[in-house]
A and B are shown apart, each in its own frame.
Chain A
Amino acid sequence: MTLESELRSKRDRGRKILVPYITGGFPGWIDAIRAAAASGADAIEIGLPFSDPVMDGPVIQEASQRALELGATPVSILDGVRNLDVEIPLVVMCYYNTVFHAGHERFAKQLVAAGVCAAIIPDLPLEESGPWVKAADEAGLETVMLAAPTAPDSRLPLIIERARGFVYAVGLLGVTGERSALAATATAMAARLKPITDKPVLIGVGVSNAEQAVEACRVADGVIQGASVVRRLIEGGADAVGDYVSEVRRALDAAFVPQS
């Protein structure tokens, strides 16, 4: 099973894809992943906390810093991931220095050994991604690439070609965090990608509640939800995460009825 084949088959059955993000190492993170998986998530994005998370807003920064203060390391988190008994694909999100410091081949193998099927590295853009993607491909690990609203049309096919698993459509100009409304750039970004790729297109960054997830999925194949999930983890623990994922799942399934 690859992430891409899994997401494609769900999409092709008419199901909208829901990927919650959980900060690894934050108290209750393992239970939160189990709760999300049991509540209708299609894959989980697990963040490896980094000291300098430039793509993250206050909520995920806080969770990352807390996890680091509690002694979380990439190794301790991957140990936890290895023992996870969930049936859906697991994706790791980490900043590039974590990868570079460990070494490309070694890190890719560590992820695969932990049962992770894909990686998202938000500060590794197309031009710098070559050596990592080669190592990841060889290890059988998929690398999700991000497409941002600032990209000219000519750049998108190059990103799509390099992308494995799915194409991550960045929803707005800005960092992760909840917003009162879905930015117009979110659906616009997905609308630019959908006609030129058959790979699943998921919108992330600034998709903040069930209603916005539905709105995003009118164009995209699915959504990634970060800050809204992590805030619930911080405030209410794993149960709150499960409740929230259920709520978004129900809203998606009501708006887009999957084929049985």
Chain B
Amino acid sequence: MSLMSDPTTEGRFGEFGGRFVPETLVPACQELEIAFKDAWQDPVFRGELDAVLRDYAGRPSILTECHNLGAKLGIRLILKREDLNHTGSHKINNVLGQALLAKRMGKKRLVAETGAGQHGVATATAAALFGLECKVYMGAVDVERQALNVFRMHLLGAEVEAVHSGSRTLKDAVNEAMRDWVATVETTHYCLGSVMGPHPYPWMVRQFHRVIGDEAREQFQALVGDAPDVVVACVGGGSNAIGIFSGFVDLKSRLVGVEPAGGAAVKRGVPGVVHGMKSYLMQDEYGQVQEAHSISAGLDYPGIGPEHSYLASIGRVEYPNVTDDEVIAAFQELARTEGIIPALECAHALAWIIRESGSMQGQTVLMNLSGRGDKDVGQMMEILK
């Protein structure tokens, strides 16, 4: 199997992945798998998706070279500007794909989980565009720290439900969205927001985000005349990272997925099963899933997508982590040196680049700037007071 091709029929990437869901959801996952395969091979579907990505989301996203910060760090730093997409992050790529697919399957309603609110906003946006009902589950802690995105979802006509169980963050929002789906599966599509969950989600969501890597590969070649030495992205579930890595996995580029220190599934986790998948997972000695702790709601997740676990296990991708303090510094650094306010999520990728730049002198570094920081400004205002 060549890297990042299709998973096995059981939805496995190596030993990871699978479909560990309640029996009620198995037929829905099977139906979704068949529908996605059919749609992905259908030029009409692909044409519709390409058109909406271009004319609505604003693709292709550009590359921006950071001349100021690059000179300061002694590297060539180039950003893939997913922050410039409609709704402000890469999440729109996946959501437009899944919403089109849901319509094709005759579903009337979308449910989604969200951490920082970016996936929730993107799902609410696609639901508004395609005339679907939408309900978004969000941990109560995140509702608090991402109030702006909650209001955006309301403006877009979505219902937002605060989840008060467990750690009241992304993990619990996923639980609640799955519980909703168990009850509503006949009319509802679960619009999962990352490369996680039961098969076919990790594969399907990756395919919808491939566009990031496919564009970046061509653009980088045109700009620099070679493949990047290093490709860096932040990782919670890992959708923006898998998107950009997919364009470079068969090249010589070093691939780095940066996790938050408080949610370092690869570094601190062991293989486990939750949310429908087998993957690296932070858990205690009895297999209870541990709570992640990160300044960034979007990365506050104790697991990671199964394909990342596979790429980690074979050593193709490195998964280091950075602290909240490093992230806060990186967030401000990009704003001051380049006039770009990044989302706290991708400030993790930048924090790693800044920390490790000494060992990458003269190298070309491509970073996926997966979202813009508008949503984080309120939180940072409190932190920097």
B residues lining the A interface (CB < 8 Å): 10, 18-28, 165-166, 171-172, 175, 178-179, 182-186, 271-276, 278, 281, 283, 286-290
Contact = CB atoms under 8 A, between A and B. Distances in A.
Contacts of A86: none
A149 B283 CA distance: 33
A97 B272 CA distance: 6
A94 B20 CA distance: 13
B367 to A, nearest CB: 32
A152 B273 CA distance: 26
A126 B185 contact: no
Contacts of A125: 19-23, 26
B183 A174 contact: yes
B166 A52 contact: yes
The residue among A55, A65, A146, A159 with the most chain B CB atoms within 10 A of its own CB is A55
A93 to B, nearest CB: 12
Interface in A135-171: 145-152, 155, 159, 170
In the A-B complex, list the 6 residue pairs whose CB atoms are closest, starting with the nearest: A101-B287, A174-B183, A148-B24, A148-B23, A51-B288, A146-B23
Interface string A106-123: 000000000000000011
Contacts of B185: 150, 173
Given A73-B286, A102-B287, A123 B24 contact: no
A127 B283 contact: no
Contacts of B183: 172-175
A97 B283 contact: yes
Nearest to B172: A52
A123 B19 CA distance: 9
Contacts of B28: 150
Contacts of A75: 286
A54 B273 contact: no
Given A75-B286, A124-B20, A173-B185, A152 B179 contact: no
A74 interface: yes
A52 B171 contact: yes
Nearest to A96: B273
A61 interface: yes
Contacts, number: 114
B21 to A, nearest CB: 6
A173 B276 CA distance: 18
Given A61-B165, A100-B272, A173-B186, A128 B179 contact: no
Contacts of A98: 286-287
Nearest to B179: A175
A88 interface: no
Contacts of B166: 51-52, 65
Contacts of B22: 54-55, 122-123, 125, 146, 148
9 contacts: A54-B22, A65-B165, A98-B287, A126-B23, A151-B26, A173-B182, A174-B179, A174-B182, A175-B183
Contacts of A54: 22, 175, 178-179, 182, 275
A100 B274 CA distance: 11
B19 A52 contact: no
A14 interface: no
Contacts of B18: 128
Contacts of B182: 54-55, 173-175
A97 B19 contact: no
B111 to A, nearest CB: 13
B128 to A, nearest CB: 27
Given A128-B18, A173-B183, A175-B182, A97 B274 contact: yes
B273 A100 contact: yes
A173 B184 contact: yes
A151 B283 contact: no
A78 B165 CA distance: 26
A51 B175 CA distance: 10
Contacts of B290: 51
A21 interface: no
